[in-house]
Amino acid sequence: MKNKGLILITGATGYIGSHTVIELINAGYDVVGVDNFYNSTAKVLDGIKKIVGFNIKFEEVDCSDYKAFEKVFVKYPNIVGAIHFAACKAVGESIEKPLLYYRNNIVSLLNLIDLMNKKAKQANIVFSSSCTVYGQPSKKYLPIPETAPLVKSPSPYGKSKQMAEDILSDSVVAFPELKVCALRYFNPIGAHPTAYIGELPNGVPMNLVPFITQTAAGIRDHLNVFGDDYNTPDGSCIRDYIYVVDLAKAHVKALDKLLGEEPEAKKAAAKKIVAAKNSPYPAAEASGRWFVYNLGTGKGLSVLQLVKGFIKATGVKFNYVIAPRRKGDVEQVWADPSKAKKELGWKAATPIAEVLKSAWKWQQTLPKK
């Protein structure tokens, strides 16, 4: 297979980064991963090796340390694109430690943009954004399209994603070589089908599926379902759960587009581009080098549907109780992913039962405590 070029992956040993490394290699890209193991371990590299059959290029680096990060670009002058996963991501923690979140998430991004502009062979950046930028959309925006209004997030984590989109879109306007794709993830779940890599929550899981699998494994006594009196069919919150491998594949499509392999992108670039009405990023959009996509399934599932779906898919029962609503939870949100389908040729395809089975298979490889 033809080598499609060297891609820098920040946060490469993290949950989504590690799955994306695999899909990029499967698609013919060469990768160099960086991570400072803030929220992952070097063992993930062994899991990646078991899947792809070789040691990937990897540097232990803190992306917020400019000098250290610069050395990666000196060592690998042929980088043609970067996917920026490296960030702190716990919403609750971000409220207690705002400076940690702003420093890590923003400074790392500033360094990446600067180094991609100055040192990389081509400045293409795919950025991990989040559906948190939409807050709780009104009913008329469900499923939510990219054109829905952005809402100021109550958490420093959410704000850091919004700031990052602002910084990237301003940079696209200022730097003619820079192309950016911001991917707004909904709720990634599941693990690689081999169960060699998966989600490794630190302490008590903040996300639903690791909590379910840990409860099913007997590590936790019961799962709290926060609220059954929301304005949803069964009263529990609704989210758009997307399989991490499907999500990883979207990054390949995004890079293909930025690197100009997508014929539609070439056609679009030749046309005069008019920014969408009310776009928060009109100048960036008009440049033809700024793209935003929702990555979700397009289907909302309630917490109770997911709990019951897990029990049905795996045959493993566990205790769950209805608890009071949790402060700050959005009632319901799910994606309109049609733009990603149309422009990237990407669609989340894996059935939820298979996804939940992959999460359970992964849990069974982890320590019992």
Catalytic residue positions, numbered? 157
**Contact (Cβ atoms closer than 8 angstroms) between residue 5 and residue 81:** yes
Structure tokens at 35: 């991570």
Rounded to whole angstroms, the Cα distance separating 23 from 247 reads 10
The alpha carbon dihedral of 192, 299, 210, 254 has a sign of positive
Number of residues in contact with ligand NAD under rule CB under 6 A = 28
Query: Applying CB under 6 A, does 111 fall inside the site for ligand NAD?
Result: no
Query: Applying CB under 6 A, does 309 fall inside the site for ligand NAD?
Result: no
Q: Smallest distance, Å, CB 136 to ligand NAD?
A: 16
Q: Choose the binding region for ligand NAD from 23-31, 45-53, 86-94, 296-304 (rule: CB under 6 A).
A: 86-94
Secondary structure tally for the chain: helices H, strands E: 14, 13
Query: Applying CB under 6 A, does 40 fall inside the site for ligand NAD?
Result: yes
How long, in residues, is the chain? 369
Q: Choose the binding region for ligand NAD from 81-89, 228-236, 307-315, 343-351 (rule: CB under 6 A).
A: 81-89
Query: Applying CB under 6 A, does 303 fall inside the site for ligand NAD?
Result: no
- Compose the 186-215 pattern: x for residues touching ligand NAD by CB under 6 A, - for all others: -xx---------------------------
Please name the helix (run of DSSP H) or strand (run of DSSP E) that holds residue 112, with its range, or none: helix 108-119
With CB under 6 A as the contact rule, the residue among 5, 15, 216, 310 that binds ligand NAD is 15
Q: Cα 226 to the chain's mean position, in Å?
A: 24
With CB under 6 A as the contact rule, the residue among 22, 87, 301, 352 that binds ligand NAD is 87
Q: Smallest distance, Å, CB 284 to ligand NAD?
A: 20
Pairing of strands 223-226, 290-295: unpaired
Q: Smallest distance, Å, CB 87 to ligand NAD?
A: 3
Edge-first strand order for the sheet with 79-84 is 57-60, 30-35, 6-10, 79-84, 124-130, 179-185, 290-295
Kindly tell me which of 87 and 348 has the beta carbon lying closer to ligand NAD: 87
Rounded to whole angstroms, the Cα distance separating 228 from 234 reads 7
Q: Choose the binding region for ligand NAD from 58-66, 71-79, 114-122, 217-225 (rule: CB under 6 A).
A: 58-66
Query: Applying CB under 6 A, does 46 fall inside the site for ligand NAD?
Result: no
Kindly tell me which of 210 and 309 has the beta carbon lying closer to ligand NAD: 210
Answer whether the bond into residue 233 is a cis peptide, omega within 30°.
Answer: no
- Kindly identify the residues of this chain, within the stretch 129-168, that bind ligand NAD according to CB under 6 A: 130
Rounded to whole angstroms, the Cα distance separating 245 from 362 reads 14
Rounded to whole angstroms, the Cα distance separating 248 from 16 reads 7
Kindly tell me which of 71 and 312 has the beta carbon lying closer to ligand NAD: 71
Q: Smallest distance, Å, CB 38 to ligand NAD?
A: 4
Pairing of strands 6-10, 320-323: unpaired
Report the interface residues with ligand NAD, using CB under 6 A: 10-11, 13-17, 34-40, 62-64, 85-87, 89, 104, 108, 128, 130, 185, 187-188
